[in-house]
Amino acid sequence: MNTQLSSASSQPWSRLPRLQQMTSLNAQALSGPMACMLMIAVMASISPGFVSANNFGNIFSQSSVLFVLAIGQMFVILIRGFDISVGAVAALASVVAVQAMPHVGESAAIMLGIMTGLLAGALNGYLIACHGLQPIVVTLGTTLVVRGAATALEEAADSMSLGGDGMLQLLGYAAFLGLPLLVWLAAIISLSAWLITRWLPFGRWLYMVGGNPEAARLVGVPVRSTETLAYALCGACAGLAGMFLLARSGTAIATEGAGMELQAIAACVIGGIALGGGRGSVWQALAGALFIQALLNGLNLLGSSPFVSEMVLGAVIVSAGILDYVVRKFKRD
Amino acid sequence: MHMLKRWPASLWVFIALFIACLIAVPRFGTVQNFVNLGRMAAILALVSIGQGVVIMVRGLDFSIGSAVALFSVATVLCAPVLGVAPAFGIGAVAVLCLGMLNGVLISYLKLPAFLVTLGAMIGVHGLCSVLVGGVPIEAPVGIDMSGLAHAGWFGIPVPAWLAAVAFGGSYVLMEYTSFGREAHLIGSNPRAAELAGIPVPLRILQAYVLNAMLVAVAGAVLTSRLGSGQPNLYPELPFEAIAACAIGGIPLTGGKGSPLHAVLGVCILALFMNALVLFNFPTYLQSMLLGVLIVESVLVQHLAGRFAWRAGSAQMQTNT
In a domain, B245, yes or no: yes
* CATH number, residue B137: 1.10.3470
For chain A, what percent of residues have pLDDT higher than 90? 32
Number of folded domains in chain B? 1
Q: How far apart are CA A99 and CA A116, in angstroms?
A: 13
Distance from CA of A216 to the nearest CA of B (A): 21
- Supply the pLDDT for residue A227: 93
- Supply the pLDDT for residue B318: 56
**Which pTM value belongs to this model?**
0.85
Q: What is the pLDDT of residues A21-42, one digit of tens each?
A: 444 455 667 777 888 888 888 8
- Supply the pLDDT for residue A5: 42
Least reliable range by pLDDT among A146-150, A329-333, B202-206? A329-333
- Supply the pLDDT for residue B294: 87
Instruction: Note whether B107 and B201 are within 8 A (CB).
Output: yes
Using only the alpha carbons of chain A, give its radius of gyration: 21
- Supply the pLDDT for residue B311: 65
Distance from CA of A253 to the nearest CA of B (A): 14
Question: So where are chain A's domains?
Answer: 30-332
Instruction: Note whether A90 and A257 are within 8 A (CB).
Output: yes
Contact B122 A132 (CB under 8 A): no
- Supply the pLDDT for residue A34: 82
Contact B122 A310 (CB under 8 A): yes
The set of residues, in sequence order, having a beta carbon less than 8 Å from that of B255 and lying 6+ positions away, is B56, B58, B184, B185, B186, B187, B188, B189
In a domain, B6, yes or no: no
Among candidates A263, A257, A202, A198, which has minimal Cα distance to A230?
A: A202
State the residue range of the domain holding B281: 34-300
In a domain, B87, yes or no: yes
- Supply the pLDDT for residue A11: 44
Architecture of domain A30-332: Orthogonal Bundle (1.10)
Q: Compare all CA atoms of chain A with the CA of B122 and give the residue at the minimum distance.
A: A314
Q: Determine the residue among B70, B116, B285, B287 to mutate to test chain A binding: the one whose Cβ has the most chain A Cβ atoms within 10 Å.
A: B287
Contact B242 A136 (CB under 8 A): yes
Q: How far apart are CA A191 and CA A283, in angstroms?
A: 9
DSSP state of B140: P
Chain B residues with CB inside 8 Å of A313's CB? 122-123, 126
Q: Determine the residue among A77, A151, A307, A322 to mutate to test chain B binding: the one whose Cβ has the most chain B Cβ atoms within 10 Å.
A: A307
The set of residues, in sequence order, having a beta carbon less than 8 Å from that of B124 and lying 6+ positions away, is A314, B63, B66, B67, B69, B70, B98
Distance from CA of B268 to the nearest CA of A (A): 15
Q: How far apart are CA B200 and CA B196, in angstroms?
A: 10
ipTM for the predicted complex:
0.82
Chain B residues with CB inside 8 Å of A147's CB? 284, 287
- Supply the pLDDT for residue A231: 96
- Supply the pLDDT for residue B208: 95
Q: How far apart are CA B233 and CA B254, in angstroms?
A: 29
**Can you tell me the mean pLDDT for A209-236?**
92
In a domain, B184, yes or no: yes
Instruction: Reply yes or no on whether the pLDDT at A13 is more than 50.
Output: no
Chain A residues with CB inside 8 Å of B129's CB? 305, 307, 310
Among B129, B283, B289, whose Cβ lies nearest the Cβ of A310? Answer: B129
Residue A221 CA neighbour count, 13 Å, CB half:
23
Contact A321 B105 (CB under 8 A): yes
SS3 call for B156 = strand
Instruction: Reply yes or no on whether the pLDDT at A43 is more than 70.
Output: yes
Chain A residues with CB inside 8 Å of B282's CB? 152, 155
Chain A residues with CB inside 8 Å of B119's CB? 266, 314-318, 321
Among A147, A269, A311, whose Cβ lies nearest the Cβ of B123? Answer: A311
Among B283, B289, B291, whose Cβ lies nearest the Cβ of A143? Answer: B291
Residues in chain B with pLDDT < 50?
1, 3, 320
The pair phi, psi for residue A223, each rounded to 5°, is: -60, -50
Q: What is the pLDDT of residues A240-295, one digit of tens each?
A: 999 998 888 888 888 887 888 888 998 998 888 888 888 888 999 999 999 998 88
Among candidates B71, B69, B61, which has minimal Cα distance to B119?
A: B61
Size of interface A-B (CB pairs under 8 A): 152
**Can you tell me the mean pLDDT for A94-107?**
86
Give the type of residue at A147: R
Contact B130 A265 (CB under 8 A): no
Contact A131 B243 (CB under 8 A): no
The set of residues, in sequence order, having a beta carbon less than 8 Å from that of A291 and lying 6+ positions away, is A32, A35, A36, A39, A267, A270, A271, A316
DSSP per residue over A7-65, as a string? HHS-HHHHTHHHHHHHHHHHHHHHHHHHHHHHHHHHHHHHSTT-SSHHHHHHHHHHHHH
Q: How far apart are CA A236 and CA A121, in angstroms?
A: 7
Distance from CA of B119 to the nearest CA of A (A): 4
SS3 call for A151 = helix
- Supply the pLDDT for residue A9: 41
- Supply the pLDDT for residue A7: 42
In a domain, B39, yes or no: yes
Among A145, A266, A312, whose Cβ lies nearest the Cβ of B288? Answer: A145
Contact B123 A137 (CB under 8 A): no
Q: How far apart are CA A107 and CA A97, in angstroms?
A: 9
Q: How far apart are CA A101 and CA A104, in angstroms?
A: 6
| Region for B255 from its dihedrals, namely left if φ exceeds 0, alpha if ψ lies in -120 to 50, beta otherwise | left
Please report which residue ranges of A126-174 form alpha helices under DSSP H: 131, 135-156, 167-173
Chain B residues with CB inside 8 Å of A152's CB? 282, 284-285, 288
B124-136 burial: b if 16+ Cβ within 10 Å, else e: bbbbbbbbbeeeb
- Supply the pLDDT for residue B317: 56
Give the type of residue at B3: M
SS3 call for B59 = coil
- Which helix (H) or strand (E) is B256 found in, with range? none
Total count of residues recorded for chain B = 320
| β-bridge partners, B156 | B153
